[in-house]
Each structure stands twice: as structure tokens, then as C-alpha cells.
Structure 1
Amino acid sequence: MDATRLRRFLLINPNTNALTTQRLRDVLQPLLPPGLALDVQTARFGAPYIACEASHAVAAHACLDVWTTHRGTPTRPLHGVLIGCFGDPGLFALREVSGCPVTGLAEASFIQAGARGPFAIVTGGERWKPMLQRLANSLGYGAQLRHIETVAPTGAALQADPDMAIRCLSQACQNAAQSGVSSIILGGAGLAGYARLLQAHCALPLIDSAQAGWEVLHGQLAPPAPTDQDGFYAPWIGLPPAFTQVPTKENP
């Protein structure tokens, strides 16, 4: 097929860990139907894994940086952007400036899990609990999120040791299942693909956040873009040239 006729989607890994990017690619590439292309990109700067407020804030900037460079052209436009982090850094900013739908692993998982009823989250990194609760509240899912089970290892540590991850996450899922929920989100780019491996150890449906991200974005379940064209609302000083090359929208 002519490359200019492909429906093109952009997946941004907001951390600098190329192994995480590869894991996302490996899990999502087989899900692509003919005629679709998934451009998978890694942040140019930031932390190797996102585990705190500061690394999350820098990751939001890194997402915008990737988008300015890979947002497409009039002949090869983007049809959607997926933030490959279970915390969705830069979600609201990217949605504001992109002329196409944008979602993240967390929002997409909330959409899928919320359709079933109350839900829980299992993820790596203890500092994520208040951050995820705040995100759920801001997206309108605070009441449905009944429990967040964090395990001590970070997502990066779990990704590096699959056997430990299975043991640790299996127990965490069993704990979360006791909270009276209808489903459990296994959250984290580094944990992409683990829901399938852990399902036999849990009586409740497990939602893979990476797979949910793609299904929501491709299935057009993500909130629509505010306008049909890219653009910032303010000029920039001191940022890379790609930022200044993005059109400026009229302020509402």
C-alpha cells in the first residue's frame, strides 16, 4: 500500500528506556489491521522510568517534544496519538494542541474498566497511588476507582525480572480482587502483555493498559480533539525549532 494512504498513529513512550518502547511495540504491533501504521517513538530526554511527580512533569514536556517532531504533514496526517505511560503525562496539553484524538494508557483503561463498573488498579511504584487517584478524579472516574494496589518494585524493575513480576503481581491482583470491584487494570507500559499471563491467577477480568490504549484510540472511543488542526496558543522562547514550526491557533 502507498505509504501516503496509510492511517498513521503515533505512540509516544515518555521515558527514555528503549526496552519499554520495544515492549509496547511487540505487544501492539500484532493488533494492527491492514492499512494502519503505528509510529513508536521514545522520549529524547527525561527519566528512564517515571515514578514520581518530577519525572512525570518532565515526561509531559518530552511528550510534546516528540509530538512536534512527528505530528505529520498535510499529506501524511496523524489519526491519533497514544501516550505510552500509565499516568498519561501531557494528556491534556497534547489533546489541546493536536488536531486528532489523544489518549493515554490510564485514561483508556479507565474507559474500558468503567464500562464494567467499579474497578481497581495494580501497578508498580508506591508513589503512583496519589498521582493515579488525582488523574482518575480529573477524568471523572474517581468514584469508580475503588482500590489502588501498588507493589514496591517500579515498573522498570518488574519489566527487568519477569519471574519476580509474575509472583508479585499475582498476589497484588488477588489482593485487589477482594475490594468489591468488577475488573482490575494492570497498569504500566513495562507490564504490557502481563494481563494475559496473570489471568489464570485471578477470578476477575484483567485489563492490559497498553492493549486498552490501542483499542480505545483505534476504536474512536477516546475524547475527540477540540479542533481539527494542530496548533499552540502561545509563542515559544528557547525551545527546539520544531515547537516554533507548529502553527499558532487563535485564542478562544
Structure 2
Amino acid sequence: MRALVINPNTSTQVTQMLHAHLREHLPQTFALDSVTARFGGAYIASEAGYAIAAHAVLDAWATSTNEYDRIVIGCFGDPGLEALREISGIPVIGLAEAAMLEAATLGRFAIITGGERWRPILKRRAAAAGVAEKLAAIHILRETGAELLADRARALDLLAAAAQDCVRTQQAEIVLIGGAALAGMGEALAERLPFPVIDNVSAAARALLAPISAPAADLDHVVYSGLSSELSVRIR
């Protein structure tokens, strides 16, 4: 089994973190390659950034040189998820979708992440995954992913306080820690909190190992202009 991890932003640090965390949760026989978006933002913080990231995801897949059994979109929000499923013919896993589907099997869940403009995007993702009725709350941290990464101990304290607030005030039964830059923090919190906590990157690793049927590629055979040569070839 071989999977490709696509980081939709241009931060190589995030790509390295994603790869390392996923690698820890997969057997050594499972091959894993990771790639960083060739264009776009260092982080995704708006609807425009999300749209650009979706294009970058398709471009990253098109420029890959190996054959893959599965793909992971390494962004909590899954830009390009449906589009890549449509054209690749490969099972595609998104951090947000994988974590939401897992959380929904346990009960009502709250999401803790950073970036106020992610709220409507994550609501749409929950609806697309069919779990909107299980979404109890979305708690947006004021701190950016970079700020949380800079001080892990403080980040865990902030996340723990937010998680406890969601359970106490929003009747959430499970808390989902979302954000590629927060990989591993959900697992650390699960050891110190008395309720289930799901780490979004760990959930994606579990989804990678689960049986998934490969979809058939469904190309539209439209001639596009202005795309990279690699994507132009693979999209039709």
C-alpha cells in the first residue's frame, strides 16, 4: 500500500509534521510520500485561500510521479476533496472528513480549531459528510497555528480549557482537535481529559488503514486553458 500526502499550503514545516505524525501511526510496510503545494498561501485563512488551495491540491496530484493507492489531503477543511475524488480514481481522505466521521460514531462532537473564517467551511464539510446533526459546536481559538506551535505547553492548556468549555456549555460528548499544524495535540489532550478527544491527523491515519473502495474517475473531457501542463493532461 502506498499513499500520497498533499499539503495544500506552501509550508514545508507543516508538510514535515504531517508526514512524521502519519508515519508514526502506519505500519512500516505502508509506503508514504508527501508533497507541498507549488503555489498558494503559507496557511489558509479565507474562502479565497481555500479555493486556491483546492487548485493546488489537484496540481500536486497531477505532478506526482508514483502510482498511489490512496491520497490524504493534509488540511483540516479538505480543499479539493470532491474534485480529486472525481478525477483521480483513487480513494481520497481528508483530515476533517475522517475526523468528523469518526467522532460522529461516538456521539455529539465539538470542533476546536483556529481561524474564524473556517467556521462556515467546516459547517459545509460536516453537512457534506452527513454528520451536521452531530456537530454540537465549533470553537475558534484566537491564536494562530503558528502561535500554538511556538509554545506547545501553552497550546495544550488553551486547547484543554476550550475542550472543557465545549463539553460543559455545548453538551458535546467528544472533542475534535482540528488543524494539520496541531497534529499530535489531540492525542496529548486525550491523556489528560476525562472525555474522548480525537486528533484529526491520527483519524486520517486510521482511515488510511480502513477498507475503502476506489471510485471510478469521472472526467468531464473539457479542454482547459492556463493550467499546469501536468494537470491539463490528467484532467481530461
Q: Establish whether TM, by shorter chain, passes 0.5.
A: yes
**Aligned partners of 2:87 and 2:235 also within 8 Å:** no
The correspondence of residues 71-82 of structure 1 with structure 2, limited to 5 A, is: 72=66, 77-82=67-72
- Letter aligned with residue 102 of structure 2: Q
SS in 1 for 2:133: coil
Which deviations, in whole Å up to 9, do the C-alpha atoms of 1:21-72 show, x marking residues without a partner? 1111121112221322111111111111112111111110110010001163
The correspondence of residues 7-26 of structure 1 with structure 2, limited to 5 A, is: 7-26=1-20
> Are 1:193 and 2:187 counterparts?
no
**Aligned partners of 1:230 and 1:247 also within 8 Å:** no
Structure 1 residue ranges (4+ consecutive) displaced by more than 6 angstroms after TM superposition: none
- Letter aligned with residue 16 of structure 1: T
Distance 1:127 1:170, change over 3 A: same
1:212 alignment counterpart: 203
> Are 1:56 and 2:50 counterparts?
yes
1:121 alignment counterpart: 111
- Letter aligned with residue 220 of structure 1: P
The correspondence of residues 39-188 of structure 1 with structure 2, limited to 5 A, is: 39-70=33-64, 72=66, 77-178=67-168, 179-188=170-179
1:230, distance to aligned residue in structure 2 (A): 7.7
Q: TM-score by structure 1 length?
A: 0.87
Query: Partners of 2:191 and 2:26 in 1: how far apart?
Result: 26
2:227 alignment counterpart: 239
Q: TM-score by structure 2 length?
A: 0.93
What percent identity do the matched residue pairs reach?
43
Any stretches of 5+ residues in structure 2 without a counterpart?
A: none
- CA RMSD, aligned part only? 1.7
SS in 1 for 2:42: coil
Query: Partners of 1:230 and 1:98 in 2: how far apart?
Result: 8
Q: How many residues align?
A: 235
1:225, distance to aligned residue in structure 2 (A): 4.0
**Aligned partners of 1:14 and 1:62 also within 8 Å:** yes
1:181, distance to aligned residue in structure 2 (A): 2.4
- Letter aligned with residue 45 of structure 1: F
**Aligned partners of 1:98 and 1:225 also within 8 Å:** no
Query: Partners of 1:238 and 1:131 in 2: how far apart?
Result: 27
Query: Partners of 2:121 and 2:200 in 1: how far apart?
Result: 16
Query: Partners of 1:67 and 1:195 in 2: how far apart?
Result: 28
**Aligned partners of 1:109 and 1:209 also within 8 Å:** yes
Query: Partners of 2:65 and 2:99 in 1: how far apart?
Result: 24
Comparing 148-157 with 38-47, which one deviates more in the overlay?
Answer: 148-157
